[in-house]
Every structure is written in structure tokens, then in C-alpha cells.
Amino acid sequence: MSEANEERTMGAIATAVVALVALVLSGGALIVAAGATTGAPAAPTAGSSTAAKNVSVNLSEFDISPGNIEIAVGGTLSVTNVGAIDHDLAIAGSGVGTPMLANGQSYDLDLSDLEPGVYQMLCTIPGHDSAGMTGTLTVVGEDGQVPDEHADHAVGGADQYDWDALDAAMHDSIVAFPAETEGLGNQLLEPEEVLDDGTKVFRLVASIFDWETEPGRVVEAWGYNEQVPGPMIKVDVGDNVRVIVDNELPMGTDVHWHGVRVPNDQDGVAPLTQPLIESGESFIYEFVAREPSIGMYHAHHHGQMKLPNGMFGVFQIGDVGEDIPLPTGRTISGKDIPDEIDIVAEIPMVLNDAGNIGYSINGKGWPATEPIVVDEGDWFVVHYYNEGLQIHPMHLHQMPQLVFAKDGFALDAPQWEDTVKVAPGERYSVLVQATDPGAWAFHCHILTHAERHEGMFGMVTALIVNEA
């Protein structure tokens, strides 16, 4: 953030808190609803234990099945992730849990550290518990008994929660915005060299590095040039582009130019269009930037693992307003768009929702997401890029978004929306006028992508409009 921006941001924090209260209120209802779905635990059995010693349990989006397990003390849970994205299974408050499991992976979870009692099971990936990945584990003693102090409260019941603590957690998570973290993605990548024929030479280094997604949460990111998202590459229509990719990952990779017209052998789908770039090797991509693009670059080989972990970036060809026209001088749904618009900011919003990075905008989760700070009357553009595994309806409070391009193609019939649905792989470009001063919440409207019991997190930022 520039110094001027920072000053304006700090001045607007108080109003940001007030504006976000509306979102908080919807969160209260959400928590009750999520809790209610888990139901009551199995009734403890009496007499000698007939509970099984080994129980199989499956993790998926977003379910733990079976959700109500009875097991003998000292038993083992055979946990399998049958979902498409990473999950784990933890026994709340016990320190017992599986490592993160990728799709298809299994783990035998030894429960011998658990005393007889009733425990809550959950997936620890932010948002997955409130999306439904909770359950009840009843550990039955050798005498067939479950101690009363553990057995008499229903998981998810109203008595489960300390309402004041929930209110306080939400409050604290909101006033923490905007929070400082190490690292910033989307930094514009300058060519390391421009050849005599005008070819712009860029270098991407793929590696694994520490990345702070929100204050104190440092994860192992897979990415480019130690940024999530990787550095932004922007070239002009007609440019010769060369991108050198150095692979410092422990496995092979490739780079696919998503939404960019390239020769087939530059499409980045190993081994179909090129050999795999082995660990320690490099590969040179070379193509002419033939057509305007609001594109992306990302790994294709094992993309299901690499993208959620951070291997993506923005690749833009041409300029908005010139190569990708704005719908100026038109009236759309009764709203006039001026003939001339001065765009004060063009903001990438790269969405992710899984893997090590988790629910995030530009590689950061609330409160470390960056606010958009503009003056009353300003026009700005947001480009959404969904590099995640789920759909995200992106809702800006108060000011409508004029969707003027889809996947970089200017729309013949742009339309106003207050919630723009962005599916994996899609890009939408929207034009917004900051008509109303104040701090306005800007978030994914799948509420479990924005709030959890610990408070606001993930896919939320704020638009701060300073009074003219």
C-alpha cells in the first residue's frame, strides 16, 4: 500500500468496523445453523463394551462420514479422504489428529491417548468445520461406560457455545483489519532483459517457500518467485514473450497460459505438448502475445495440488479501455456510463479456497487482505480470477459492479450485478463507481468462506471510499 493509501486507510478504519457490523450479524445466524446440523451424539452404551476397536471414516466436501462414531477405548480410526481437496480429521481439544490428507490418502489414527468420553471431530482447514465437517466421537470405556461429565452435552447444541466469547471473537477479528503480514503477491514482473528484436524475457522460479496468509499463519506455499499469487506479467498486444521457468520444486512441473492464445507446443501440458520440466531443470516458453487477454498462468501437471498451494499468477495482454473496451457512453439498465472514464485503479482479485493457502484473496485471508481505497466519485476496475476449486459469489456492498468482460472478452451486453459468481478457471472484469463514502464490506457470499467461529477470515476485504 502506498503511504497516501495507508493514511487514508487508517483514517477510515473506525468506519470500516461500523460498516462491517451487518456482515457480523448474519454470522450469528450462521453459527447456530451450522451447529444444529451435527445432531446429538450416540447414547453411551451400558454394561461391558461392545464398541468396535476399529472404525473407518471418510472425509469429503464437506462431510465427515459417519458423523456419529462410537469406538472402544484404545481404538483406531481409519481415515480416508475421498474428497477432491485436502482435509484432515482432528479430535477437538485433544491434540489428536491426522496429518493433512490429499485426495485418496488414508491414515490410521491411534486413539489410545483419549480417555473415555464424547469428543467433537472436525476438519481443521478454515471454514470446513462450519461447512459441515464436524462429527461426534464417543470413546467407550472397557466397562462400557462413558463418564457423565463428557456425555451429557450435545455437540452443536446451544449449550455448546459461549455466546459472549463468540461475539468477542468476531469483534476482535474485525477490528484487526487491515493487518500486516510478510509478503505481497501480484507484484508487477519487469522483464529481466529486452532483446534486440523486442522480445521481453521474464523469469519464473517455481519453489516451495514460507508464506504468511494471515497474521501468524505461515504455510508451506508452492509458487513462483516466492509470491502468492506469483508476479503479475503484463505485456502489450504484439509483443514477443519469452518466459524462462526454473523448477526448484521437488517434482516435475509445467506452466499453462490459461486464456492466452499460444502455439500448441507452448500450452504447458506435460507430457502432451512438452516434456515435463524435471526438478532442477528449466524450460523456455516463447510466443507472440497475439490477442488481448485477461489471463492466468499456472501449473497444469498435478494442478489439483499445486494450484491450491499457490502456483498461479496473472497474465495480462493489452490495456483495459483500449484493447479490452469499456462500455463508455452507454446507458445500461437505466444507469448512464460517461463517455470518458478515468480508471484510478485496476485491481486483481485472485481467489483461492483450498490447499495450504486456503480461503484467500490475492494469497491473503482477512484481516491481512488489502483494502481498496478510493475517493468518492472514482471509477475503478476489478478483475476476478478463480484459481480455486469452488465457486465464489463476490459481493460488494452498496455499489453495483458492471460486468463488462468475461474471460477477457468484452461483453456485447454488459450487466450490473451486486454479486458476481466466479467459478474455477473463470475471470470476470467489472467496473465500479465509488458513489458512496464509507467503508463497505467486499466478500465472498458463501458465508463459511468469510466467517468461522473464531471470527471473520478468508475471502473478505473492504472498499474504503473517502468523502470528496
Residues that bind Cu ion (CB under 5 A): 392, 444, 446, 449
CB of 352 to Cu ion, least distance (A): 10
Please identify, using beta-carbon distances, which residue of 42 and 446 lies nearer to Cu ion.
446
- C-alpha 323/C-alpha 236 separation (Å) is 9
- C-alpha 412/C-alpha 355 separation (Å) is 37
CB of 449 to Cu ion, least distance (A): 3
Which whole-number Å values give the CA distances from 107 to 97, 122, 423, in the listed order? 10, 15, 31
CB of 455 to Cu ion, least distance (A): 17
Please identify, using beta-carbon distances, which residue of 289 and 447 lies nearer to Cu ion.
447
DSSP 445: S
Any idea how long the chain is?
A: 468
CB of 86 to Cu ion, least distance (A): 17
CB of 391 to Cu ion, least distance (A): 7
Please identify, using beta-carbon distances, which residue of 267 and 451 lies nearer to Cu ion.
451
Please identify, using beta-carbon distances, which residue of 75 and 348 lies nearer to Cu ion.
348
Please identify, using beta-carbon distances, which residue of 306 and 392 lies nearer to Cu ion.
392
Residue 254 in contact with residue 276, Cβ under 8 Å? yes
CB of 183 to Cu ion, least distance (A): 22
Question: What is the signed CA dihedral for 135, 140, 144, 149, rounded to 10 degrees?
Answer: -80
Which whole-number Å values give the CA distances from 425 to 299, 303, 351, 389, in the listed order? 13, 12, 10, 9
CB of 73 to Cu ion, least distance (A): 40
DSSP 159: G
Please identify, using beta-carbon distances, which residue of 357 and 444 lies nearer to Cu ion.
444
Please identify, using beta-carbon distances, which residue of 315 and 385 lies nearer to Cu ion.
385
Please identify, using beta-carbon distances, which residue of 221 and 444 lies nearer to Cu ion.
444
CB of 459 to Cu ion, least distance (A): 5
Residue 380 in contact with residue 347, Cβ under 8 Å? yes
CB of 58 to Cu ion, least distance (A): 24
Please identify, using beta-carbon distances, which residue of 300 and 449 lies nearer to Cu ion.
449
Q: Give the phi and the psi of residue 333 in degrees, each rounded to 5.
A: 50, 45
CB of 389 to Cu ion, least distance (A): 11
Please identify, using beta-carbon distances, which residue of 91 and 394 lies nearer to Cu ion.
394
- C-alpha 311/C-alpha 452 separation (Å) is 26
Which whole-number Å values give the CA distances from 193 to 154, 243, 319, in the listed order? 64, 11, 22
Q: Report the sign of the C-alpha dihedral through residues 58, 63, 69, 73, in that order.
A: positive
Residue 257 in contact with residue 315, Cβ under 8 Å? yes
Please identify, using beta-carbon distances, which residue of 10 and 33 lies nearer to Cu ion.
33
DSSP 397: S
Q: What is the DSSP string of 176-245?
A: TPSPP-S----PBPPPSEE-TT--EEEEEEEEEEEEEEETTEEEEEEEETTBSSPPBEEE-TT-EEEEEE
* Strand segments (E) across 61-191: 63-65, 68-72, 76-81, 90-91, 96-97, 106-110, 117-122, 134-140
Give residue 49's region: left, alpha or beta (phi > 0; psi -120 to 50).
beta
CB of 359 to Cu ion, least distance (A): 7
